Amino acid sequence: MPTPKNPIERLKAIPGLSAWVVSSRRTRREEIYFRRNETESRRSVENLGGRVDLFTTNGDRTGRGSFDIQAGDPAAFDRQIEKAMTLARLGSELPFPLAGKSEYGKVYLLDPEARDSLETMPSRARAAIQEGVGRTRDVRLAAAEVFVTKTNTAVINSAGAAAENDESSYFVEVVLMAGSGAGEQEHQARWRKRRFEDLDLATAVQREGERAIDRLSAVKPSAGATPVVFGPELLGDMIAFLVPLASGASAFRKDGALTIGEPIAELGADAGDPLIVELDALFPFGPLSYRIDALGTAGTNVRIIENGTFVRPHADAQFAHYLKLDRATGAPGTPQLPLGKLASADLRRDRYLEIVSVSDLVPSRGSGRFSAEIRLGYEVTGSTRRPVAGGTLTGNVFEVLSRARWSKEVSLHDRYVGPDLARVESGLTVVA
């Protein structure tokens, strides 16, 4: 198999090549699928490969040609280089330098349990799922999938960058059923973590089982504007929408809804807690953490939103150069939001609608507006807590994030690190 060391001598000998990046990737994944209590399938996947990016200087422009390295076929490597050079000569992007040698921070992304016992981890996850289901009466497991992956990645480029990293990931999806006959209700949940212990799976499944039971008595929510409390699922969706809009590529092309130096939403007195978003590639066991990105830039931390204003984009080597930024910050790291001043219990006060999950949040790229079907929520008035489902929640991501007040409890969630809960007083409406 070509490794990052082998092809480099080949690349150095190619005339007309101005820069290159070679990465290798070794992945091993164990999967288990079950329906009810029966195992439907078990799978093991081994992926040995990598990627090569070649750059040529074409007049005052640069071109790039790339291909995936295929293990076990060294002859294909030479053929692919030839094709990639052909493609690179046709490109006409503005030139940019690759990141050179750097200090690569220590980032912990590999679960020792996945490292040492990969093959047994799906069965442990299964046992934890079954324990969680067993804790809630009248809930049944319809189906579940568990994937456990460990990966070694190495990146080397022609400017001197070189680093490798080991990481692991767990993906767990469960489908629970409550009730029977025509009133039977389904409730789905999924988790992604780097460490088994961060899943806390039996407890998480128990919580979802209780939600499955709540769906049995859910009614349509009341229509109209309402204060809304929401947790990691909805907040994760919103952060996942915001981060790409704050990229160097989008800032350079001016094709996003955000402008550097301007607030993401004009709210005046309606603003909530200060909105601060940082991307930290070195956050331990963070979902998007890494040590070195695909072009060779070292993982780092960058603050993209400060007090509700888009202060600087995250940018890889290419767009950092185009935008004349002081440094490239690489691929976006793990989003971090600050803790708030109020406890979750204080955010859950008076009257509000608590959203647990919506069907799918797909905001408009231009306006940030969204409308999503409510899968499960709770209408709360004082001590009365009523499950609701159906109807749609409408609002604007930029305004919601700018109006939100954050809980002071923070955790490592599936897509960010930060508040467990948020509350907005206005700007969200339920259409029943």
Partner 1 sequence: MNRRTFLIQAGAGGAAILSSGAWLSAESGAAPALADRLATLVAELEIKFPYAFALYTRDESLTLEVSDDGNRLTTTGPNEGIVAGIWDGGMMREEATSMANDAGIRRLRDRLLAFPAPLSKSVDMDPGPPIVTDLTEAGRIPIDSRSLTRRLDDLASLRAAVTKRSPALAMVRLESLQGSSERLFVNRTRRLYQKLSRAGIGGVAMARKGSGRPGFLFIRHRGIGGLEHVELSGPVVDRWVERTERLAGALPPEAGEMTVVTEPNVTGVVAHESFGHGVELDMFVKGRARAAAFIDKPVGSAMVNITDDPTRAGAWGFYHFDDEGWTAAPTRIIENGIFRRGLSDSFSARASGLPRTANGRRESWDHKAYARMSNIFFEPGQQTREELIRGVTKGLLVGHFSSGIEDPKGWGMQVVCQYGEVIENGRLTGRVVAPVTLSGYVPDVLGSVDGVANDLELPPGTCGKGYKEFVPVSSGGPTIRFKARVS
Q: Which of residues 92-131 bind partner 1 (CB under 8 A)?
A: 92-94
Least separation in angstroms between residue 77's CB and partner 1 is 11
Residues 359-378 that bind partner 1 (CB under 8 A): 359-360, 362-373, 375
Cα 422 off chain centre by = 19
Length of the chain as a residue count: 432
CB 416 within 8 A of CB 336: yes
Alpha carbons 375 and 190: distance in angstroms, whole number: 14
Least separation in angstroms between residue 43's CB and partner 1 is 4
Which helix (H) or strand (E) element contains residue 19? strand 17-35
Least separation in angstroms between residue 169's CB and partner 1 is 13
CB 330 within 8 A of CB 281: yes
Residues 171-190 that bind partner 1 (CB under 8 A): 173, 175, 177, 184-186, 188, 190
Q: And the tokens for 363?
A: 């905001």
Residues 197-256 that bind partner 1 (CB under 8 A): 252-255
Alpha carbons 374 and 355: distance in angstroms, whole number: 7
Which member of 83, 101, 349, 385 binds partner 1 (CB under 8 A)? 83
Least separation in angstroms between residue 431's CB and partner 1 is 4
Residues 394-423 that bind partner 1 (CB under 8 A): 394
Residue 49 contacts partner 1 per CB under 8 A = yes
Over its C-alpha atoms, the chain yields an Rg (Å, rounded) of 24
Least separation in angstroms between residue 180's CB and partner 1 is 10
Which member of 65, 221, 299, 332 binds partner 1 (CB under 8 A)? 65
The two beta strands, 61-70 and 309-310, are unpaired
Least separation in angstroms between residue 293's CB and partner 1 is 17
Residue 90 contacts partner 1 per CB under 8 A = yes
Residues 276-315 that bind partner 1 (CB under 8 A): none
CB atoms within 10 A of CB 383: 5
Q: And the tokens for 112?
A: 């020792």
Spell 236-265 as b/e; 16+ CB within 10 A means b.
bbbbebbbebbbbbbbbeeebbbeeeebbb
Q: Which is nearer to partner 1, 82 or 197 (CB)?
A: 82
Which member of 56, 80, 157, 357 binds partner 1 (CB under 8 A)? 80
Q: Which is nearer to partner 1, 117 or 371 (CB)?
A: 371
Which member of 37, 41, 120, 222 binds partner 1 (CB under 8 A)? 41
Mask for 319-358, x = binds partner 1 (CB under 8 A): ----------------------------------------
Residues 9-28 that bind partner 1 (CB under 8 A): none
Q: Where are the alpha helices (DSSP H) in 56-200?
A: 74-88, 112-117, 121-134, 196-199
Q: Strand, helix or coil at 291?
A: coil
Number of residues that bind partner 1 (CB under 8 A): 81
Residue 138 contacts partner 1 per CB under 8 A = no
CA angle 181, 184, 185 (to 5 degrees): 170
Q: Which residues, 6 or more positions from 302, have their beta carbon under 8 angstroms from its beta carbon?
A: 278, 279, 312, 314, 329, 333
Q: Which is nearer to partner 1, 343 or 432 (CB)?
A: 432
